[in-house]
Amino acid sequence: MVDPVANPSALRVSEVMFNPGDPDAGEIVAGFENNDDFEFIELVNTGELPLDISGYSLAGGVDTVLGSYLLVPGEKVVVVKDEKAFMKRYPNAATVVGEYEGNLKNDSEELLLLDPLGAPVLAFTYDDAWHESTDGGGNSLTIIDEYYHPVYWGHEEGWRPSGQPGGSPGVDADAYFTWAWSNFPHALAMDPLVSGTNIDADGDGSSNMVEYVLGTDPLSAEDRGYFQSVIEIDGQLFLALTYQVAAGDALVEVQFSTDLVNWMPSDPASQLYISGRTPEGMPELTVIDSLALDWTNQARFVRLKIVR
């Protein structure tokens, strides 16, 4: 059988839309009546060098040999069932590098990614029973981490449904939803009334988005992920705020105020800060106020603003 470990190719399947959502009225009028016409398979280069995908092929229920395309590290492209149908549903969403014969069965099927010499890079069998919303509900099957060991491709634990119907052809899956998937029971992760960004599921005063950015548990009120303190520098006292840095796709701004009305954002270029690590090894940042606490400046307040 296949030993994907022996194959050093960095090409991976990162998303499979095997049973797309039904066509809407506009798609039917345009001649695309079959939901399977909107199938796609997303490929990603997980290596550190550009990769020419010429001669790679997909096999199993589908069949195609890819032409020349230089895939840069991290880049995602798609191979589709029907390019015209795909473009109708996902205009300008993704680079299409090929069309395949056959189709992706809507229950379970083996999918093979072969290198130009015919050696398997991936060989796995997906299953519609893994995640219900991928079975015609419009969500794609999305690999949780494309840098996983290839063995994960054949297991339910390696995959999750896309956060949104339609999936994310040609682009990275939503990092927030990946976090929600691993921090909520799966049924709750699929429920935006529990796992949505603005919901405070555990009632600790931090929305789920704040918990995501600070790396705290959205179902426990125990760890807030930030705290304020007073730091002495050269005999003067300064207000400081320390927070955990978990998410790379959000901007965290620390703001200081004397009256809770006017807030002054900290300026990373001039502000004093200390970077460190929590006892668990998570990066954390301490931002120090630029005005000292003294008799003329008694009240100082600090808050966190998170933008994503």
Contacting positions for Ca ion (CB under 5 A): 15, 18-19, 36, 42, 103-104, 106, 168, 200, 202, 204, 206, 216
Q: How far is the CB of 111 from Ca ion (least distance, A)?
A: 12
- The C-alpha atoms of residue 114 and residue 120 are separated, in whole angstroms, by 4
Q: How far is the CB of 17 from Ca ion (least distance, A)?
A: 8
Whether the CB-CB separation of 14 and 76 falls below 8 Å is answered with yes
- The C-alpha atoms of residue 86 and residue 84 are separated, in whole angstroms, by 5
Task: Closer to Ca ion by CB, 37 or 289: give it.
Answer: 37
Task: Closer to Ca ion by CB, 210 or 239: give it.
Answer: 210
According to DSSP, the β-strands at 236-244 and 226-233 are: antiparallel
- The C-alpha atoms of residue 166 and residue 39 are separated, in whole angstroms, by 10
Q: How far is the CB of 128 from Ca ion (least distance, A)?
A: 10
Task: Closer to Ca ion by CB, 170 or 238: give it.
Answer: 170
Task: Closer to Ca ion by CB, 150 or 170: give it.
Answer: 170
Q: How far is the CB of 181 from Ca ion (least distance, A)?
A: 14
Task: Closer to Ca ion by CB, 77 or 114: give it.
Answer: 77
**N- to C-terminal Cα separation, the chain:** 45
Using CB positions, name the residue nearest to Ca ion.
168
Task: Closer to Ca ion by CB, 15 or 289: give it.
Answer: 15
Q: How far is the CB of 43 from Ca ion (least distance, A)?
A: 10
Q: How far is CA 100 from CA 27, 41, 60, in A?
A: 20, 10, 11
- The C-alpha atoms of residue 7 and residue 180 are separated, in whole angstroms, by 32
Q: How far is the CB of 84 from Ca ion (least distance, A)?
A: 17
- The C-alpha atoms of residue 122 and residue 112 are separated, in whole angstroms, by 6
- From the list 78, 77, 79, 89, the residue with the least C-alpha distance to 38 is 89
